[in-house]
Structure formats: C-alpha cells, structure tokens
Chains A and B, each alone.
Chain A
Amino acid sequence: DVKVTQSSRYLVKRTGEKVFLECVQDMDHENMFWYRQDPGLGLRLIYFSYDVKMKEKGDIPEGYSVSREKKERFSLILESASTNQTSMYLCASSGLAGMGYFGPGTRLTVL
C-alpha cells in the first residue's frame, strides 16, 4: 500500500512565523507535489518536484518555498506566514505514469 504521510494534521501559527510542513512517501516515487485546497477553489498546485533537488513552481508559488534533499521527503516552507495562507495543505506523490497518492492533509491556521 502506498503511504504518504504529513508531519501534522492540524497546525496553528502566528502571522510572521516561519512554518515547515513535511511530507514523506514510501513508494520510491520520482514526483512529489504540494497543493493547497480552499472551499470553492479546488486543488491549487504550489510546487512540484520531479527529482531530488529539482523543483518547479506551480500555479501559486508566492510566499512559499520547497526543499527536496532526499527522494522520499518533500518539505513546504512558509517563510513568513500570513492569514491568507490559512488553508488545507496536501502533499502527493506519483510515479512516472502520474497516478497520484495524497497524504492526509495538514489544516493550517494562521492567526
């Protein structure tokens, strides 16, 4: 069974804090993704990575950065959290065919 795990299910942070969200997959997948999901807006791609140390911007990269130092781990960083970054954050991984598997999600609240 594919497993994608995320470091936290719920997180509450203050405006201006640096926030780290971590994602780990156990299927040796090349591709990893970070999305955010907001009511009425669907899934929006923040960043994706197709290999270690490789990253590409998605549709909404502003205010975020990512790190992929190992194949199984993909981190999302909010350099200075803002209230408009309150959202559900979803990590996914996929092999070359592209069938993506999602983690359980992190519900981040920025106060």
Chain B
Amino acid sequence: ETGVTQTPRHLVMGMTNKKSLKCEQHLGHNAMYWYKQSAKKPLELMFVYNFKEQTENNSVPSRFSPECPNSSHLFLHLHTLQPEDSALYLCASSQDLTGVGTDTQYFGPGTRLTVL
C-alpha cells in the first residue's frame, strides 16, 4: 500500500534539535491525522486536519507543531523534544469527516523517532 507515504522512516535527534516529519497521501483524501504509537500503549491521536483546517488537538505539548499546507501534505515540526517522546509517529488520511464510513483511515508506514 503506497497511498500514504512518510519520510523519514527513521530519525534520531537530540533534545535541542529541530526536525520535521513529512506525510503525503495520494488517495485524494481531505482529512489527515497524526498519531503517536509508544511501546505497550494504544495508538494516541494527536492532531486532525480536515480540508487544511485543524479540527482536533488532543492536548499535545507545544513542542509538537503540525502544519497542513494542502489536503495532500501534512508535517509535524519537532523542537526541544524529551526522551519520552521517542515513539513511532503514524500519519493517516481519510476521505473526510462527515461520518457514514467516510472517515475510514488509511495509515502510512510511520517514522520511528528516537530522542537522545
């Protein structure tokens, strides 16, 4: 499945670094999502964008800053992260957020982030 791509696939950064994660979807969808997946924890929703507008910020610390310049691209800007932020960051997209099954989400392969 190459409908949702993420780069980089692996990232190691220090606590003072600034980096960005990129997500691109080729499915013609209008909604995009960021999730965090830590070891032995459920998938945690971070942000939701619908038609480039942020509709959900699930109490995410400000050191994570999302950006959605268009419906196909989603970024997650990272700065002054903590070691506990190390996790797999997954991007997903769906047709939209109107319900009736149109919010079925398709995931990218994720970026494995390690914060030293």
A binds B: no
A contact residues vs B (CB 8 Å cutoff): none
